[in-house]
C-alpha cells in the first residue's frame, strides 16, 4: 500500500490508504448509492470530478463491463471507506487514483454542510501532504472547463437499433448508454450525434424526435444543443434528461443555477404535481433549473428541496426529466418516461433544413 493525502478547500488535509497511484485535482462530490458503482464510475456526468462513495464497501459484487455506461472511468479520482481488489485493479488500469480507509460518511457530511468543494489528491510511495496541497492550489486557479462536452461526446454519428417508425436524434452531451438501450428496447432507431451538432446536420438525419442527453458541468457550456432546441421546437417533439432538461429550459427562456452540493444517488424522491404520486429516482447533477420561463410548466418536483424534476409543454411536444428514468443503477420507478416520449412522435414530425 502506498501513502495518500486528500487536501480540501476548507483547509483540511486527510491521510488515507493509497490504492491506485497518481496525482490529480477536481470538484469533490458524492453519491449515496449502495450499489451501481460500475455505472457511477463510468457515468460521463462525473467528468472532471472526484467521486466519494458514502456506502462503506465498494466492489462487493465485482466489476462487469456489461454494466458500464461508457467506455471509460470519468471521475478524476475515487474515494471510499474500503475498495475491493477488483475495483482497485480496474481503477489502476484506467490510471484513476483511488484512496480508502477514510471516513467517507464524515466527508459526505462536510460536502452537505459546506457544499461541493475543490480538492487535491496525491497517491504514491513517496507523496507528502504538500503534494496534495499543490494539486489543490492548481485546482483553485482553474475555471470550469467550458468545452467539457468535447471530452465526453461521440466522435462520429453512430446508429443503434433497426427501429420501427421512430428515428431519434440523441444529442450526446455525455449520454449514458442505458438511455440508448431504453429507446432501442422500444423499437426506436437512435442516432447518437455530437454535442456540437448544427441545425443543418440535424436536418440531414430527419428525426422524429430530438433528445438532449445528460452530461457534465454547466449547461451554459452546451450552446450548440441549446440552438438545436431553439431552431426545432414545434417542428419535432423534444425530450431531455438531466443536463438535457437544463438545456431545453435555457433554450425556451428559463434559467439555470448551480446547486450547493447537487443531487447524487438513487434515493431522491420526486412528486408528480398532477397525480400526487411519489417515485424514487436516481440522480447525478450539480445544476438545476431555476425559473422554467413562460413556455415550460413544472410537472414534477423534488420532495426534499422543491427543485424542478419534470418540465413539459404539451402543445409544443416537449417533455423533460431532471432525474435518470433509464434507472441505471436503479430504482425502476420511472421507466415509463420513455413510453411517454415516444408517444409524442408521429410521421408528420420531420426536420426541414433551412435554405
Name the binding residues for L-glutamine: 45, 215, 217, 243, 246, 284, 286-287
Residue 80 CB contacts under 8 Å (≥ 6 apart), including other chains: 52, 53, 55, 56, 57, 58, 98, 100, 102, 104
Q: Following DSSP, what letter does each residue of 35-97 receive, concatenated?
A: S-HHHHHT-GGGTTEEEEE-SSEE-TT---GGG-SSSS--SSEEE-SEE-HHHHHHHHHTT--
Distance, in Å, from the CA atom of 125 to the CA atom of 21, rounded to the nearest integer, reads 8
**Which ranges of 197-272 does DSSP label H, i.e. alpha helix?**
199-205, 223-232, 243-251
Q: Do 18 and 4 touch, CB atoms closer than 8 A?
A: yes
Residues in the chain: 355
Q: CA angle, 330 as apex, 255 and 344 as ends, to 5°?
A: 55
Q: Do 327 and 287 touch, CB atoms closer than 8 A?
A: no
Distance, in Å, from the CA atom of 196 to the CA atom of 199, rounded to the nearest integer, reads 10
Distance, in Å, from the CA atom of 111 to the CA atom of 156, rounded to the nearest integer, reads 37
For the record, the C-alpha cell of 45 comes out as 456526468
Residue 293 CB contacts under 8 Å (≥ 6 apart), including other chains: 249, 252, 253, 254, 255
Element holding 308 (H helix, E strand): strand 308-313
**Which ranges of 94-236 does DSSP label H, i.e. alpha helix?**
104-114, 129-140, 149-152, 177-184, 199-205, 223-232
Helix (H, G, I), strand (E, B) or coil at 113: helix
Is 242 one of the catalytic residues? yes
Sign of the dihedral through C-alpha 67, 75, 330, 19: positive
Is 69 one of the catalytic residues? no
Catalytic site residue from 285, 326, 328, 349: 326
Is 157 one of the catalytic residues? no
The torsion region of residue 276 among left (phi > 0), alpha (psi -120 to 50) and beta comes to left
Catalytic site residue from 119, 139, 173, 242: 242
Catalytic site residue from 74, 81, 191, 324: 324
| Residue 57 burial class via C-beta count within 10 angstroms: exposed 0-12, middle 13-18, buried 19 and up | middle
Looking at the annotation, which residues are catalytic?
A: 242, 324, 326
Amino acid at each position: 500500500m502506498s501513502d495518500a493525502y486528500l487536501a480540501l478547500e476548507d483547509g483540511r488535509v486527510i491521510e488515507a490508504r493509497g490504492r491506485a497511484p497518481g496525482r490529480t485535482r477536481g470538484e469533490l462530490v458524492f453519491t449515496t448509492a449502495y450499489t451501481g458503482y460500475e455505472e457511477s464510475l463510468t457515468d460521463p456526468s462525473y467528468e472532471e470530478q472526484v467521486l466519494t462513495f458514502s456506502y462503506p464497501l465498494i466492489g462487493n459484487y465485482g466489476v462487469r463491463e456489461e454494466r458500464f455506461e461508457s467506455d471509460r472511468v470519468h471521475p478524476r479520482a475515487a474515494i471510499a471507506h474500503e475498495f475491493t481488489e477488483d475495483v482497485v485493479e480496474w481503477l489502476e488500469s484506467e490510471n484513476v487514483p483511488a484512496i480508502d480507509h477514510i471516513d467517507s460518511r464524515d466527508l459526505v457530511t462536510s460536502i452537505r454542510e459546506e457544499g461541493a468543494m475543490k480538492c487535491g489528491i496525491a497517491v504514491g510511495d513517496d507523496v507528502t501532504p504538500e503534494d496534495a496541497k499543490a494539486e489543490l492550489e492548481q485546482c483553485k486557479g482553474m475555471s470550469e472547463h467550458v468545452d467539457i462536452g468535447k471530452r465526453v461526446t461521440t466522435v462520429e454519428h453512430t446508429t443503434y437499433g433497426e427501429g420501427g417508425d421512430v428515428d431519434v436524434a440523441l444529442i450526446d452531451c455525455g449520454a449514458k448508454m442505458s438511455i440508448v438501450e431504453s429507446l432501442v428496447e422500444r423499437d426506436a432507431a437512435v442516432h447518437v450525434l455530437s454535442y456540437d451538432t448544427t441545425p443543418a446536420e440535424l436536418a440531414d438525419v430527419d428525426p422524429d424526435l430530438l433528445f438532449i442527453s445528460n452530461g457534465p458541468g454547466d449547461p451554459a457550456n452546451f450552446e450548440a444543443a441549446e440552438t438545436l432546441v431553439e431552431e426545432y421546437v414545434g417542428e419535432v417533439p423534444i425530450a431531455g434528461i438531466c443536463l438535457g432538461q437544463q438545456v431545453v429550459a435555457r433554450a425556451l427562456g428559463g434559467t439555470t443555477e448551480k446547486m450547493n452540493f447537487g443531487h447524487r444517488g438513487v434515493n431522491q424522491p420526486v412528486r408528480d404535481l398532477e397525480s400526487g404520486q411519489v417515485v424514487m429516482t436516481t440522480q447525478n447533477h450539480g445544476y438545476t433549473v431555476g425559473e422554467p420561463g413562460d413556455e415550460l410548466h413544472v410537472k414534477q418536483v423534488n420532495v426534499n428541496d422543491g427543485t424542478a424534476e419534470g418540465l413539459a409543454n404539451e402543445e409544443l411536444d416537449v417533455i423533460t426529466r431532471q432525474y435518470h428514468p433509464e434507472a441505471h443503477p436503479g430504482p425502476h420507478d420511472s421507466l415509463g418516461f420513455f413510453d411517454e416520449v415516444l408517444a409524442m412522435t408521429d410521421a408528420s414530425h420531420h426536420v426541414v433544413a433551412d435554405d
